[in-house]
Chains A and B, each alone.
Chain A
Amino acid sequence: MINALVNIGLAHFLILSLILFLTGLLGVLISRNMLRTVMSLFIMSVSAVINFAAFGYYCDKSMENANMISVFVLIFAVIQTIIALVILYKIYQANEFLDAEKIKDKEN
């Protein structure tokens, strides 16, 4: 048990990535404010990047493939976040609030 904690390997990073992914998923499910939902989606994307980087470090010695995939994932995560923020800003201009449940009620 102590050996597993001391010898840091791929599994440690995969556990970190899993915890971050689940935290992000929980954030998407429970937050009412849409800005926070977007931030939670960003956490999920970063967890995927950590996964790729860890696999690259421990399996692919040249690191090129993993770095490439990670950079692409990161770019798409940032793009998704920025586009979501722009949409949220427009929604705010139209409604004056960003509470998902209020917007749903207003639509109904």
Chain B
Amino acid sequence: MVTNLIYFYFLFFATICCALGIIFAPMMYLSAISLFLFVCFSSLIYLYLNSVYLSVFQFILCGLFLSVYLFLLIKKIGRINLRLGLAPASKIIVSSIFVLLFGALFVLYFLQEFDSSLYSFFNAVVEKSFDAVNFKHYLYPLSLVGIFVLVSAAVLRVFLDNSLTHEQQKENEENCS
């Protein structure tokens, strides 16, 4: 019981600290490391919630793929030791007030609605969905999503390449003239 409690609060604060680390880290590589740790700790939270598949999925997809891709990208553009700046103080203050107000509104809404409608809404959704759901049935649409993403990424890349070469040609023409 006590171990469980300590484990939960450790994950709770570690995740929040990593999220804050991503935003307030002074160097780019620290921000990337915070992202990796954030992915690891959030995977542990899913494990705590018995979502083993989700936890492994996130760790592989985000921890081993996304974080490494991000790290390589930063290294490729030579920005690994870049000092990160924040917006001006006035903007930070205004944004913090906005975020706090948003949070307060959310909590008020939650307190008002939670006991009755949010629970019943979720239960209604669960009851209406078919009873015997097999996770394997969803693998087909998942593969479709994957293919769709690859195709859209390829199209986007071609589109961006074309627009870039077009701009470079324009610049060259301007320089020549």
| One of B22, B51, B87 near A53 (C-beta < 8 A) | B51
Chain B's interface: helix, strand, loop or mixed, by majority?
helix
Interface residues of B in 17-47 (CB under 8 A from A): 19-20, 22-23, 28, 31, 35, 38-39, 42, 45-46
Chain B residue at smallest Cβ distance from A96? B77
Q: Give the size category of A's interface with B.
A: 35 or more
Also in contact, A29 and B95, with CB within 8 A (given A18-B106, A64-B135, A71-B142) = yes
B66 to chain A, nearest CB (A): 6
Chain A residue with Cβ nearest B100? A22
- Is there a chain A Cβ closer than 8 Å to B147's Cβ? no
**A-contact bits for B143-165, CB 8 A (1 contact / 0 none):** 00110010011001100110010
Nearest CB in chain A: distance from B81 CB, A: 13
A82 to B172, CA, bound (A): 31
The one of A6, A23, A99 in contact with B16, judged by C-beta atoms closer than 8 angstroms, is A23
Please state if B102 and A94 are interface contacts (CB–CB under 8 Å): no
Name the prevailing secondary structure of the A interface residues.
helix
Is A103 on the interface with B (CB-CB < 8 A)?
no
- Chain B residues near A78 (CB-CB < 8 A): 61-62, 65-66
Known contacts being A29-B99, A30-B86, A43-B38, is A75 close to B142, with CB within 8 Å?
Answer: yes
Q: Is B96 an interface residue (CB 8 A)?
A: yes
CB of B51 within 8 A of CB of A56, answer yes
Question: B16 and A71: CB pair below 8 A?
Answer: no
In the complex, what's the smallest C-beta–C-beta distance from A51 to chain B, in angstroms?
A: 11
Task: Spell out B's residues near A (CB within 8 Å).
Answer: 4-5, 8, 12, 15-16, 19-20, 22-23, 28, 31, 35, 38-39, 42, 45-46, 49-51, 53-54, 57-58, 61-62, 65-66, 69-70, 73-74, 76-77, 79, 82, 84-87, 91-92, 95-96, 98-100, 102-103, 106-107, 110, 114, 119, 122-123, 125-126, 129, 133-135, 138, 142, 145-146, 149, 152-153, 156-157, 160-161, 164, 167
> Can you list 14 contacts pairing A with B, beta carbon distance less than 8 Å?
A29-B91, A29-B95, A32-B84, A40-B23, A53-B45, A53-B54, A65-B133, A74-B58, A78-B61, A82-B153, A83-B152, A83-B156, A90-B160, A90-B164
